[in-house]
Amino acid sequence: MNKNTKNLPIRIIILIVLCLLAGIGCAKNYTPPVVVFMPERIIDEFSNMQEHEIVSRAWIRRGFALSNCRSIDIKPLTDSSQNPQPAVVKSIQQGLHDILKDHINKNGELDVIVWANVIDVKIKPGRIKSWFAGFDAMPYIELEIVITDSTTGLPMVKVIHFRRDKKSLKTAVTNILGDLSKFFSTAL
């Protein structure tokens, strides 16, 4: 037997052991799956919502008008965003209260509940980041509102609205409240 062929089984065994060790070494470098943040939503069904002139998407039950509301109960605003902003929540809560208090009609037939949820908030990037910031780095806010009948629980209005501003989050909040005021005054 040739001297080179005597070591062949040993070489094969060493090669197999090296492959197994390499496989075990690669298997230890486990990377955990990427977790994507999904905010809690109050609107479950989006299929019937359509684009609107004033707000991003809206659905209004046929025949519903705010002038038919005897009482409007505004529940505390929830903040499901990844970075909660209590000042924004307080500002929107007060703005919704100011917008809807004028629409109460003592002779109305419906008692409604207003649920609102902040889905996402992005504050202004820092001074250095703002030099290189693109469109996605601008401050913005996204929220959803559902108005339900208090006796049946049926939704009367569903609204999703998004607002972005180049300068500040405060301006975006002011603009979104202006849009909601216009929507509740003209569309309902």
86-143 residue pLDDT tens? 999 999 999 999 999 888 888 889 999 999 999 999 887 666 555 565 556 788 899 9
Could you tell me if 159 and 182 are in contact, meaning their C-beta atoms sit under 8 angstroms apart?
no
The rounded distance, in Å, linking the Cα atoms of 91 and 96 is: 9
Which DSSP category does 136 fall into? G
φ, ψ dihedrals at 19, nearest 5°: -65, -45
Burial of 178 (0-12, 13-18, 19+ CB in 10 A): middle
Is the CATH number of domain 50-186 3.40.50?
A: yes
The rounded distance, in Å, linking the Cα atoms of 142 and 119 is: 5
Question: pTM (2 decimals)?
Answer: 0.76
142-167 residue pLDDT tens? 999 999 999 999 999 999 999 988 88
Could you tell me if 134 and 107 are in contact, meaning their C-beta atoms sit under 8 angstroms apart?
no
- The residue extents of the domains of the chain are 1-31, 50-186
Confidence of residue 182 (pLDDT cuts 50, 70, 90): very high
